[in-house]
Chains A and B, each alone.
Chain A
């Protein structure tokens, strides 16, 4: 659509797909720009002029309504505890890692994935500056955390963090806090944490959206088939980028339960479409479509709905389910 006032490349450098729905997007943006302006003003008052930022109910509410792009990196670092981690380990920690000896296997596998990370993003295309920076971050992290090393998927997370922060050092610490503090063992060699969380989600769907659970089981589509990428990539490369960043705002503040809220909202709000799919292919296809439709493009409304649609969901409920299901799996493999 040549008449669109939005260019082929979005503000983060991603080329918009050929089938990009400019009309829905323009409708949405005409309202969202007002929201953004209002939030920018509020945040300027909150953190402007040398004021420090601390976790508080007010900040949490602000975060839920979206952090302005220019403050994102700084706010994520502060509210997630990444900044505290950085102070604990020393501000030159990242640079030291980079100057240490490198394991060739890690270097090779990271190099293979570099040109395969966001090839359609102008900042990541061949020779662009972010490729070398992403390489540094991934290799440094793999050497810092031997249990994780390099797990495919981290390239997309670190890549998007880099697009937001424009800083290797900030990206490294945000990656570290995500992998080691916010998410439970998602990226280790057995990926136990992800497998457990997929089971937790299935159980939550059974409790909260039983018709969909029943329907998906009867068609025989495993939940992991649909949701592995949702968990591993934290919706990067799954949902529209602005929506992903709004989710990450809350993820850095509130922790991993946000992921379940997003999954459950997607499933619950698309219940009717999902129930209409009567075979495996169309159901699998439908689960793809619901990550691209206007519901998720309208990130502001979507983010409001994640705190309403799924109903109550506490961190302790999730912890209990995680423990129970991980134990069940253990017993199962021992037998």
Chain B
């Protein structure tokens, strides 16, 4: 896990022989929210393009990675998908510590999960890295006929708190890539990201040929 010097990293505009340009940034992202709101489903949609009608409940946490492309930058997400049940709460700080981004998820058909999402946002604002980028996802937007949380209410709350906000559906894929992309855009990519903790501190790597095998959808 090398952090290369800024002199090298700044050569981001240099032309690559394979046509790929630029730098690679690696960020730690954590998903939080009540059980069964669809955290794992969002990750599964984003990473593998799949959806399971019956997604197994997450115990502890699951770890996955996915890469997105923004102009000349490859953003690699280290994704921590956590368990939602209240009693797993005491383990959560381990996952959001040192995270540069968080997606707090609620289920638009369940008002309680929105309340729980607000509690998570507060906790992140108090305890996580000060510059953490937080996105609020109102998931299961495909179930509009069962809606219990109004779009405007959630958007208003997000604006007051400086959060990115989207309604998503892991089932139909609506806004799933978009929310990750919006986060990637908002993350600082030129300065070393400050933050406590031990891993994944906005590590910026310079792409060297053959070193990085990005997934097919990226930086073509």
Contacts and interface: CB of A to CB of B under 8 A. Distances in A.
Nearest to A236: B59
B48 to A, nearest CB: 12
A152 B52 contact: no
A281 B65 contact: yes
Contacts of A188: 87
A155 B78 contact: no
B57 A225 contact: no
Contact of A224 (B65, B94, B197): B94
Contact of A190 (B57, B63, B90): B90
Interface stretch (A82-90, A109-117, A244-252): A109-117
B151 interface: no
A229 interface: yes
Interface string B45-63: 0000000111111011101
Q: How large is the interface on A (under 10, 10 to 19, 20 to 34, 35 or more residues)?
A: 35 or more
B35 interface: yes
Interface in B94-140: 94-95
A275 interface: no
A113 B57 contact: yes
Given A119-B54, A152-B85, A152-B88, A225 B59 contact: no
A220 B59 contact: no
B200 A280 contact: yes
Interface in B32-91: 35-36, 52-57, 59-61, 63, 65, 78, 83, 85-88, 90-91
Contact of A284 (B54, B63, B85, B91): B63
Nearest to A155: B57
A290 interface: no
A190 B63 CA distance: 23
A195 B89 CA distance: 12
A116 B59 CA distance: 12
A309 interface: no
A222 interface: yes
Given A191-B87, A195-B90, A280-B1, A152 B59 contact: yes
B85 A279 contact: no
A153 to B, nearest CB: 5
B199 interface: yes
B18 interface: no
Given A115-B54, A116-B57, A151-B87, A222 B78 contact: no
A294 interface: no
B198 interface: yes
A151 B65 contact: no
Nearest to A226: B60
A248 B94 CA distance: 29
A186 to B, nearest CB: 11
Contacts of B36: 112-113, 116
A219 B85 CA distance: 28
Kindly name the residue among A118, A151, A233, A284 whose own CB sees the greatest number of chain B CB atoms within 10 A: A284
Contacts of B52: 119
A224 B200 contact: no
A229 B60 CA distance: 6
A285 B88 CA distance: 22
Contacts of B199: 219-221, 280
Interface in A158-191: 188-191
Interface string A206-243: 00000000000001111011001100110001000000
Contacts of A109: 35, 85
Interface of B: 1, 35-36, 52-57, 59-61, 63, 65, 78, 83, 85-88, 90-91, 94-95, 197-200
Q: Enumerate the 10 nearest inter-chain pairs by beta-carbon distance, A residue then B residue, closest first.
A: A220-B198, A228-B60, A119-B54, A279-B1, A229-B60, A280-B199, A220-B199, A229-B59, A115-B54, A152-B85
Interface of A: 109, 112-113, 115-119, 126, 151-153, 155-156, 188-191, 195, 219-222, 224-225, 228-229, 232-233, 237, 278-281, 284-285, 288
